[in-house]
Amino acid sequence: MLVEKYKKMLSGKSVIRQLSEFATARGKEIGYENVFDYSLGNPSVPVPDKFTQVMIKMLKEESPVKLHGYSPSLGNPEVKEKIAASLRKRFDIPYTAEHIFPASGAAGALSHAFRLVTEPGDEILTFAPFFPEYHPYVDLTGAVLKVVPANTEDFQINFAAFEEMINEKTMAILINTPNNPSGIVYSAETLTRLADVLTKKSVEFGHTIYLISDEPYRELVFEGVDAPCVSKFYDHTIMCYSFSKSISLPGERIGYLAVNPACEGAEFMVPMCGQISRGIGHNCPSSIIQMAVAEVLEDTSDLSVYETNMNLIYKELMDLGFTCVKPGGTFYIFPKALEEDAKVFCEKALKYDLVLVPSDSFGVPGYFRMAYCIDTEKVKRSLVALRKFVETEYPDRKEIKC
């Protein structure tokens, strides 16, 4: 009598998870330092030391009853005010505490955002390539996730396909910039055009189409790259942020939802999140973690290793004859595979202890993702294996390159 939909999902194991398990198992055979594991997006650099010191200080000096007591159901007011102030200062958007809802990471924020603006049967559109978890996140609300095919030229938005797919049932658009898996940052031009389409279509369909902006990689932007703030382009934006990647706290499940003050219904949204929480059992992220991140809002981990790794990998990929759009941020890169079936390509790479993720579940066939949140020293060794793999398996690769 268990509920079948969840039971059925057990057979559909995530490819990323399977590959990560392979890497762990292989590591037990040959030493994990010899497995070039590019499967998981788990940050490799520590949280800023200030966070650790803040935690220790609070634990030593604060009253435990205050430190670990219930947060109000809409989040700790002082924490909300600090987040709002930081966003105001940085993006010049008049956020106040009333627009901020602390959540269990971006996943928690998204789970509230989807429920705010969709009923079962409504559609949410997203753009390939996209984070595969969006499917269960949306599907299990009863709304329907539709994927707009990729613009493989530069992984900006495929507007022709988008305008064809958007329809009366579309209640929200879900974007992720800087993007997992492509590493691409949406340009101001892309965001302006997206906002124009949404404004026009909202009028045409007689209802506001919301923009849900998933921004865990907001701080992971490489030198010289302009990463515009999505909420600046379209009023009806719900920002979903996570501290997982910027300060390397993925396991602490801490992030927030920030409603643009000019958004339709902005005054109701955070209180409504409190109601949604009752239904999904959230009731705020950890109290002490909320208070601690509020003290490091302007800090990041030392993220430079990701850019160093990206440059090394990108150069070698180019030298080896791959087709690849250069990432503007994140710790992902998304090159074209050297044969049509990316699964076969990634399968062959395993023989060289290179753990690459085929792109099919990201909504684009024929590519692969590398999550380069690993030590630079290991990246360097992996490139030797990559060259060997490519030269051995694809000696004629110049012809395959398109």
Footprint on residues 233-262 left by its own copies (CB under 8 A):
248-254
The residue behind tokens 């007591």 is: 69
- According to CB under 8 A, which one of 85, 91, 133, 360 is a site residue for its own copies? 133
E strands, 262-402, are 332-333, 354-355, 357-358, 368-371
> Residue 79 interacts with its own copies (CB under 8 A)?
no
Report the run of H or E that residue 344 belongs to, with start and end.
Answer: helix 342-350
> Residue 86 interacts with its own copies (CB under 8 A)?
no
Nearer to its own copies, 201 or 348 (CB): 201
Footprint on residues 10-29 left by its own copies (CB under 8 A):
10, 17
Binding mask 311-350 for its own copies (x = CB under 8 A): ----------------------------------------
Footprint on residues 189-218 left by its own copies (CB under 8 A):
207-208, 210
Q: Which among 85-93, 137-145, 332-340, 382-390 is the span making contact with its own copies, rule CB under 8 A?
A: 137-145
Nearer to its own copies, 55 or 297 (CB): 55
> Residue 117 interacts with its own copies (CB under 8 A)?
yes
Q: Residues touching its own copies: how many (CB under 8 A)? A: 80
CB of 388 to its own copies, least distance (A): 29
> Residue 378 interacts with its own copies (CB under 8 A)?
no
**At residue 244, what are phi and psi to the nearest 5 degrees?**
-55, -45
Q: How far apart are CA 99 and CA 91, in angstroms?
A: 14
Q: How far apart are CA 245 and CA 263, in angstroms?
A: 27
Q: Burial code of 361-387, b = ≥16 C-beta within 10 A, e = fewer? A: bbbbebbbbbbbbbeeebbeebbebbe
Q: How far apart are CA 258 and CA 157, in angstroms?
A: 24
Cis peptide, bond prior to residue 181, ω within 30 of zero: yes
Q: Which among 55-63, 156-164, 350-358, 386-394 is the span making contact with its own copies, rule CB under 8 A?
A: 55-63
CB of 175 to its own copies, least distance (A): 18
Q: How far apart are CA 15 and CA 39, in angstroms?
A: 9
Q: How many CA atoms lie within 13 A of 141 on its CB side?
A: 25
What are the structure tokens assigned to 368, written together?
Answer: 């692969």
> Residue 136 interacts with its own copies (CB under 8 A)?
yes
In this structure, the chain runs to a length of 402
CB neighbours (10 Å) of residue 95?
25
What are the structure tokens assigned to 257, written together?
Answer: 């939802």
> Residue 63 interacts with its own copies (CB under 8 A)?
yes
- According to CB under 8 A, which one of 23, 289, 320, 355 is a site residue for its own copies? 289
> Residue 33 interacts with its own copies (CB under 8 A)?
no
> Residue 297 interacts with its own copies (CB under 8 A)?
no
Q: How far apart are CA 56 and CA 67, in angstroms?
A: 12
Nearer to its own copies, 61 or 223 (CB): 61
> Residue 6 interacts with its own copies (CB under 8 A)?
yes
**At residue 345, what are phi and psi to the nearest 5 degrees?**
-55, -50
The three-state secondary structure class of 255 is: strand
> Residue 118 interacts with its own copies (CB under 8 A)?
yes
Q: Which among 68-76, 309-317, 334-342, 346-354 is the span making contact with its own copies, rule CB under 8 A?
A: 68-76
Question: If you ran DSSP here, which 8-state letter would residue 119 be given?
Answer: -
Q: Which among 65-73, 181-189, 310-318, 349-357 is the span making contact with its own copies, rule CB under 8 A?
A: 65-73
> Residue 55 interacts with its own copies (CB under 8 A)?
yes
Residues linked to residue 239 through DSSP beta bridges, in sequence order: 213, 258
Footprint on residues 146-175 left by its own copies (CB under 8 A):
171
